[in-house]
Amino acid sequence: MRPLLSVLSLFIVVSCNPSPEVTESNSTSNINEEAPFIWGNKTFPKAIKISTAFSASENASVTEMGTAWKTAVSDDKTFFSFAAGNNNYDITDTDGILGVYKATTWPSDVSEDALAITQLFGRRFNVGKANEYVSIVEADILVNYKPGPQAFTYDTLDNGIDEGFDLRTIVLHEMGHFLGLQHIPTYYDRPDAESHMNRDTYKATSVMYPSVSASENKRIPQAKDIAALTSKYNIGGGSGGGGVSAIVAASRFQPMNNDPGKNVKIVIELRATGECIHKEDGAVIRRHHLNLK
């Protein structure tokens, strides 16, 4: 039987700064691991294919969480549209399809303790500069349905019976990654944190905390998530609408000096042991360990 705490992994880089709870090592690299991620084509909604392998209640869980992200920004932007698709997921290359897949086989190079992964393919621009960023061109979400004695179970019915991890909670988190949001830091009590609060209170400020327990139910994007999303895509426009000015928005996330960029597939995996491994194009560029409390 699975432990009550598991982790959410994603195929992108996230910010993991040192703290008393973290030990880490880095390989030599001039990339900025904190560089933001944004869809190069900012046109929404993104057309998502939901695998027909999902049951009706599982499918509903996915579409409802797509609506939750729209509701979070006061219906100013519809981020996703949904249609049925096959279950032919591929984590090695792009296929031109943006999908949510029921993964009954799990990638051998991803921890079996990961409930779900989001893989992003894109181009990294302005490496080594203050405005370095990754432009997303394709993304997929895979939910771990690998069978066996260590299989995860998921709750979708809201019938008062505890049937496992809340699927809506997991999908909402992965959709955040799909849109370019990164994990909030787990080290909430670090000296330069914006405030000192207990872990549960801190986790409540965002759905992008990188671990989830079987008892958690988080189906509504929170303040940190909404602020990050409105700023990234200039939703609402101007300071009064929660976004940045059109002039500032137009100047962000642009290649410098005709930089052609570099195709990248970036992987991060947070294991149940607390080990966090960062990879770019298959090479480990950073690893560290934090204590999951």
Q: What is the pLDDT of residue 267?
A: 64
For residue range 261-278, list pLDDT tens digits in order: 888 886 666 454 445 566
CB contact at 8 A, 62 and 170: no
For residue range 209-265, list pLDDT tens digits in order: 777 777 788 899 998 899 999 999 988 754 444 445 555 555 678 888 888 888 888
Average pLDDT of the residues in 45-68: 97
Range of the domain at 132: 5-290
- CATH at 38: 3.40.390.10
Nearest by Cα to 265 from 16, 85, 34, 37: 37
Q: How confident is the model at residue 7 (pLDDT cuts 50, 70, 90)?
A: low
Q: What is the pLDDT of residue 47?
A: 97
H or E segment at 178? helix 167-178
Please report, for residues 23, 104, 208, 212, 269, the alpha-carbon distance to residue 20 in angstroms, rounded to integers and kept in the order given.
Answer: 8, 38, 21, 22, 21
Q: What is the pLDDT of residue 213?
A: 75
For residue range 19-40, list pLDDT tens digits in order: 334 333 344 358 887 788 999 8
Average per-residue pLDDT in the chain? 77
Q: How many domains does the chain have?
A: 1
194 against 15, higher pLDDT: 194
Average pLDDT of the residues in 80-107: 89
Q: What is the pLDDT of residue 199?
A: 67
